[in-house]
Amino acid sequence: MAIIKRNIWALFVLVLLGGAAVLSVSLAARWQTILSDEQAYQAARAELVGQAVESLLRTQELVLDVIGRELLRREEGLLDASRQIPLLDSILEVDPILRGFGLARPDGQLVRVSTNLDLDRLPNLLTHPATRQSFLQALDSPAMVVGRTYYVEAMDAWAIPIRKALRTETDEVKAVMTAGLRLGSGATVFDQVLHDGDSDGVILYRENDGYVQFMSREGVGPEQYSQVFRPESVRQQDRRLLEEQLGIPVEEVKARGRAVVLSTQRQGQSFVTAAQFIGRYGLWAISETSMAPLYRQFGAYLSGYLLVFVVLATVLFWLFRIIDGAERYRRAELLHLSRHDELTGLRNRPGLLDRLDELMAQGTAFSLVVVNIDNFKGINDRFGQESGDEVLAAFGRRLRSLVAKTDDLARLGSDEFAVLTPSAEPSAVEHACRDLARELAETFQAGRLRLQLTASIGVAIYPGHADSPNKLIRSAHVALYEAKQSRNAVCVYRQDMDLEYLRRLQVEQRLRYGLAAGALHMVYQPQVDAEGTPVGLEALVRWHDEELGDVAPSEFVEVAEKSGLMVPLGDWVLETSMREYSELRRALGAALGLAINISVIQFRQPDFVARVMATLARYGVAPQELVLEITETLFMSSFAQVVEKLTQLRAEGIRISMDDFGTGYSSLSLLRKLPIDELKIDKSFVDNILDDEKAHNMIESIVAIATSHHMELVAEGVEQKGQAETLVRLGCRRFQGYYFGRPMSMAEFRERLLQPDGCDH
Ligand code: C2E
Ligand code: MG
Ligand code: MG
């Protein structure tokens, strides 16, 4: 079926050829029927004429026999001149077909004639050229002889002479009876119109001399046909033709007593000819017709058939056209569907690739702008898939309304769109994209939801940034990735982004593998008091990869956050550090306090609190011993929810520490509202505390805030004695840094703790 659909016109041609074949076969059959009907007709006519002529002549021969016997019996001195014989006249009355009757001596001289004839005007039958042949024959033959049709002046009429010799018992010819078969009496086969139209005719001709005895043809009478004869050469040809066509000798045909049919040619015309031989009288009855009327008849059929065929073919053609049209439409629709996104009606990825191919073939420069909605996953999680779809559709419409009408739009992935714009100058495109990002960030309505979404945009320009559609999309993605990383809404591709991108991809792939293969481990960095006595420890994750070597947590944690690996990684950290800490605690016999870094992604897990509590319970660690380190980025979204979760954690007794404090955006006024137990002064301030007044002042302020809000304070990254002393002077009571101890394995940590002086300085 599929093949037929694809080759609908091939099928049409096939049907047409089939139709033409059927037409040819039926036309051939029709022609055959016409021809064989005609042949049968001609044969029947030849036979009929033959039979009619033969029976006529036989009857006449019978009459002559009877008269002859009578004359021989009755008449003495039969041939005495000028003696009337009344019998001769009475014969004419009895047999109206006969016109005149006479008796001739064997020397050809007529001696007795019926009274309607004038003996003096009659020729000598042996010497007259028209009668000589048949007269001689009659002398020779025991049967009746038919002579050539000729005009008998004495009778003033056309007649066919018949002669029969009167023989004595000793077979001696006494006389020859001669009579004329009257033409025009209306009583014999010779007076009937046997032909049918111009091209048709019946002929009776003599075999021995080729003279035509009788002819029924349009406009031809005895005057004409009595002069016609077929010379010996032509008759030979006839015989050859007959033998060739029938494959049997002429003699056999003659003996057969039935008509034979031939096709003959004459004067450039073809004929169907039937021939029947009347053996007793040596006559051929020929019935023939020209092929022309047959051709005409066939022509009429042909045109009728052709008309039907053409009409059917036309109807079929239109039918196929309709089917083909529908099929084309369906295919176009399928193609459209396969190249467009159902949800937004925009092009999909293959659709975009098609368009990119087109544009690249034209060779003009253009930009591919990839727009990715920030944190779209949150919308699906929070409002459900259906609402998410509504938002995407609405976002698609918004994008359509914001870009130029001539720009092509596509949806590349779940929350990713693409714009193809003819602008190809990097700074101009970047500028336009910034406007776009700003406009997209405005509140909009999607179904029942009123939303404010931001989007990140990556731009790649053809031909500058890639030479193929896939490479161009990839370059735009690299730029988009960069935009997401740098939290800078718009990024135009640069070559150096590739390396970073590749590195991240590699880190992501290896981390996925590493997590499963147990390639990660935890180290712990001590936190000490002003006397240098360990009061806690911070758990820090480490990863050594076979291919990449040591990868810094700052790098792979970020990759994990962006690739969905953060939750399993965070769980693993929580689990491992809690287990190792519980072992340390058992060995020490005292609680020390464990700080664990928590990623935003981890924190956002709906069951985060429950998970932490379950882990604590599993290892028998009191919530009061646990510090969770969070960063300010956590407050960038859903502030109220974060505060609520923090409050829950604190209610359980877990303490919250604000890591890297001072680097983020949290205003000091905001800090007041936050349920925080501890601030960790970022290493960057500690680094500069000795020679940068600003850093010094900043630390002073942080100390003041911590004191006023009753928060613990930890100074991070203390590397020198001087730094530690200054921090102590400023009022800091807890420290962490290489000066006091580097991150180390739990075993190492335990060993050092069990020594009397556990710190480096
Ligand atoms: P952080 O939480 O601020 O951790 C402190 C970082 O400073 C650690 O780097 C630590 O090795 C380093 N450090 C401590 N004292 C000194 C010092 O005196 N001098 C210098 N130069 N560095 C010092 P690390 O382990 O490379 O971790 C970097 C960041 O990676 C961490 O910053 C934290 O944000 C993240 N991180 C590490 N482990 C984890 C983890 O298990 N979970 C999560 N979510 N994040 C982690
Ligand atoms: Mg930390
Ligand atoms: Mg820190």
Interval 25-37 mean pLDDT: 94
Q: Tell me the average pLDDT across 106-112.
A: 88
Run of H or E residues at 528: strand 520-529
Q: Which residues pair with 549 in a beta bridge?
A: 545
**Tell me: the pLDDT tens digits for 678-689?**
999 999 999 999
Contact (Cβ atoms closer than 8 angstroms) between residue 287 and residue 271: no
Cα 635 off chain centre by:
58
Atom of ligand 1 nearest to the CA of 718: 18
What per-residue confidence (pLDDT) applies to 355?
93
Q: List helix spans (H) across 441-495.
A: 469-486
- Please tell me the number of Cα atoms within 13 Å of 730 on its side-chain side: 28
**Any atom of ligand 1 within 6 Å of the Cβ of 634:** no
Q: How far does residue 243's CA lie from ligand 3's centre (Å)?
A: 124
pLDDT of residue 760 exceeding 50: no
What is the secondary structure of 373-414 as a DSSP string? Answer: ETTHHHHHHHH-HHHHHHHHHHHHHHHHHHS-TTSEEEEEET
Do 760 and 739 form a contact (C-beta atoms < 8 A)? Answer: yes
> 531 with 462, same domain?
no
**Beta strands 366-373 and 520-529: pairing type?**
unpaired
Residue 89: which domain range? 74-189
**Chain centre distance of CA 368:** 33
* Nearest ligand for residue 662 CA: 3
Instruction: Mark whether 665 and 745 lie in a shared domain.
Output: yes
Examine the domain organization and report whether 483 and 577 are in the same domain: no
User: How many Å lie between the centroid of ligand 2 and the Cα of residue 218?
Assistant: 129
Q: Name the helix (H) or strand (E) containing 511.
A: helix 496-517
Q: What are the φ and ψ backbone dihedral angles of 195, each rounded to 5 degrees?
A: -90, 170
Amino acid making up residue 513: Y
Residue 214: which pLDDT band, with cuts at 50, 70 and 90? very high
**If we measure between CA atoms, which residue out of 614, 535, 599 comes closest to residue 567?**
599
pLDDT band at 758 (very low <50, low <70, confident <90, very high): very low
3-state DSSP helix/strand/coil percent for the chain, to nearest 5? 50, 20, 25
Domain count, the chain: 3
Q: Ligand 1 pocket, 573 CB below 6 A?
A: yes
Mean pLDDT of the region 88-112: 84
Query: Within 10 Å of residue 547's Cβ, how many Cβ atoms?
Result: 9
- pLDDT band at 610; cut points 50, 70, 90: very high
Based on the fold, state whether residues 580 and 455 are members of the same structural domain: no
* Residues in contact with 566: Cβ distance below 8 Å, sequence separation at least 6, in sequence order: 557, 560, 599, 601, 602
Q: How far is residue 56's CA from residue 185's CA, in Å, rounded to a whole number?
A: 14
Q: Is the pTM of this model over 0.75?
A: no
- In this structure, the number of other CB atoms found within 10 A of the CB of residue 542 comes to 16
Residue 641, domain member (yes or no): yes
Residues 634 and 577 in one domain: yes
Residues in the chain: 761
Q: Quickly list DSSP for 701-757.
A: HHHHHHHHTT-EEEE----SHHHHHHHHHHT--EE-STTT---B-HHHHHHHHHSSS
Q: Which residue has the tokens 């007959």?
A: 242
| CATH number for the domain that contains residue 356 | 3.30.70.270
**Same domain, yes or no: 488 and 591:** no
138 and 96 inside one domain: yes
Residues 637 and 710 in one domain: yes
- Check: CB of residue 681 under 8 Å from CB of residue 697: no
Is 200 within a domain? no
Domain boundary (160, 189, 218) is at: 189
SS3 at position 539: strand
How would residue 100 be classed by pLDDT, with cut points 50, 70 and 90? confident
Dihedral over Cα of 24, 27, 31, 32: its sign: positive
- What CATH number corresponds to the domain at position 646? 3.20.20.450
CATH of the domain at 142: 3.30.450.20
Domain boundary among 157, 172, 189: 189
287 lines ligand 1 (CB under 6 A): no
| 577 close to ligand 1 (CB < 6 Angstrom) | no
| Most ligand 1 atoms within 8 A of CB, residue of 597, 599, 656, 718 to mutate | 597
Ligand 1 in reach of 131 Cβ (< 6 A): no
For ligand 1, is residue 609 a contact (CB within 6 Å)? no
CA of 540 relative to ligand 1 center, distance in Å: 6
Please write the tens of the pLDDT for every residue from 120-178: 888 899 998 878 888 998 999 888 999 888 887 777 888 898 999 988 888 888 889 89
Report strand pairing: 145-146 vs 110-113.
unpaired
Strand partners, 160: 181
Specify if 556 maps to a domain: no
Taking the C-alpha atoms of residue 690 and residue 718, their distance in angstroms, rounded to an integer, is: 12
Write the pLDDT tens digit of every residue in 462-481: 999 999 999 999 999 999 98
Mean pLDDT for the chain overall: 89
Which 8-state DSSP code applies to residue 534?
Answer: E
pLDDT of residue 87: 74
Average pLDDT rounded to a whole number, residues 442-470: 89
Convert 347-384 to b/e letters by CB count within 10 Å (16 or more is b): bbbebbbbbbeebbeeeeebbbbbbbbbebeebbeebe
* Centroid of ligand 1 to alpha carbon of 552 (angstroms): 9
Q: Does residue 591 lie within any of the structural domains? A: yes
Claim to verify: residue 532 and residue 486 sit in the same structural domain: no
CA gap 295, 280 in Å, rounded: 37
β-bridge partners, 290: 271
pLDDT at 759 over 60: no
385 occurs within a structural domain: yes
| φ, ψ dihedrals at 149, nearest 5° | -65, 130
Confidence of residue 81 (pLDDT cuts 50, 70, 90): low
Give the Å distance between the CA of 117 and the centre of ligand 1.
159
pLDDT of residue 546: 93
**pLDDT above 70: percentage of residues in the chain:** 96
Asked if the structure places residue 759 within a domain, the reply is no
pLDDT at residue number 85: 67
Q: State both tokens at 687.
A: 């680094």
Can you name the residues that pair with 658 across neighbouring β-strands?
630, 679
Contacts of 550 (CB under 8 A, 6+ apart): 542, 543, 544
Residue type, 259: A
Place of tokens 């033969």: 54
Provide the CA 39 distance to its chain's centre, in angstroms. 54
For the segment 366-376, what is each residue's pLDDT rounded down to a tens digit? Answer: 999 999 998 88
Same structural domain, 474 and 531 = no
pLDDT for 311-337, tens place per residue?
A: 999 999 999 999 889 988 998 999 888
User: Is the residue at 381 inside a domain?
Assistant: yes
| Out of 56-60, 291-295, 534-538, 662-666, least confident range | 662-666
First to last CA, the chain: 87
> Are 475 and 532 in a shared domain?
no
Alpha carbon 603 to chain centroid, angstroms: 55
Model pLDDT for residues 496-540, shown as the tens digit of each residue: 888 888 898 899 999 999 999 999 999 999 999 989 899 999 999
Q: Where a domain ends, among 162, 189, 216?
A: 189
Nearest Cα residue to 734 out of 744, 743, 748, 724: 724
Closest residue to atom 21 of ligand 1, CA basis: 717
DSSP state of 124: P
Contact status, residue 380 vs residue 319, Cβ threshold 8 Å = no
Is 500 buried (19+), middle (13-18) or exposed (0-12) by CB count in 10 A? middle
540 lines ligand 1 (CB under 6 A): yes
What's CA 166's distance to the chain center, in Å?
Answer: 96
Low-confidence winner among 177-186, 510-519, 664-673 (lowest mean pLDDT):
664-673
User: Are the C-beta atoms of 528 and 740 separated by less than 8 Å?
Assistant: yes
Q: Classify residue 458: in a domain, yes or no.
A: yes
Kindly tell me if the per-residue pLDDT of 384 is higher than 90. Answer: no
Instruction: Say yes or no to pLDDT of 102 above 90.
Output: no
Report how far residue 248's alpha carbon sits from residue 591's, in angstroms, rounded to the nearest whole number.
134
- Surrounding ion ligand 2 within 5 Å at CB are 597, 629, 659
Q: Which atom of ligand 1 is nearest to the CA of 539?
A: 41
Q: Counting atoms of ligand 1 from 1, which one is nearest the CA of 629?
A: 2
- How many Cα atoms occupy the beta-carbon half-sphere of 191 within 13 Å? 12
Q: Are residues 659 and 734 in the same domain?
A: yes
Query: Whole-angstrom Cα distance, residue 495 to residue 602?
Result: 33
C-beta of 155 in contact with ligand 1 (< 6 A): no
**CA–CA separation, 537 and 626 (whole Å):** 10
Could you tell me if the CB of 599 is within 6 A of ligand 1?
yes
